[in-house]
Amino acid sequence: MPRKQSALKRRTTLTLPSDSLLQAQKIAHSRKVNLSTVISEVVAAGLRLESARDRRDQILESYRAAFAGFTEEELAILNGVILEPAGAGRR
C-alpha cells in the first residue's frame, strides 16, 4: 500500500542565497524545529503577502475605473471638499 503524503507535501530542491539559508538555519535551531518547517512558514507568509498585494492592486484598479469619468470638481464633491470660498454663502 503506497504511503499517503502528509498534508499534500512534496519534496523538491531549492537553491537559496547563503545568507538566507544561514538565517533560516539559525531560526530553526533556536526554535528547535527542522529547517523545512522554517522554510515552509517563510514561503507561506511570502505567498500570503503576494496575494494581498494582488488583491490591493485589483481593488485600486477597480476604484480608478469606477471614478475615471468624473471631473476634478465632481471628485472633490465626492470627497467632501467644499468648493465655495469661506464666508461666500454667509451674511
pLDDT tens track for 66-86: 888 888 888 888 888 776 777
* Residue 5, domain member (yes or no): no
Q: Is the pLDDT of residue 90 over 60?
A: no
The total number of residues shown for the chain amounts to: 91
Q: Does residue 75 belong to any structural domain of this protein?
A: yes
Cα 56 from Cα 7, distance rounded (Å): 29
Specify the pTM: 0.60
In a domain, 76, yes or no: yes
**What is the CB neighbour count within 10 angstroms for residue 38?**
19
Q: Residue 40 falls within a domain, yes or no?
A: yes
User: Cell numbers at residue 87, please?
Assistant: 464666508
**What's the domain range around 54?**
34-80
For the chain, the domain total comes to: 1
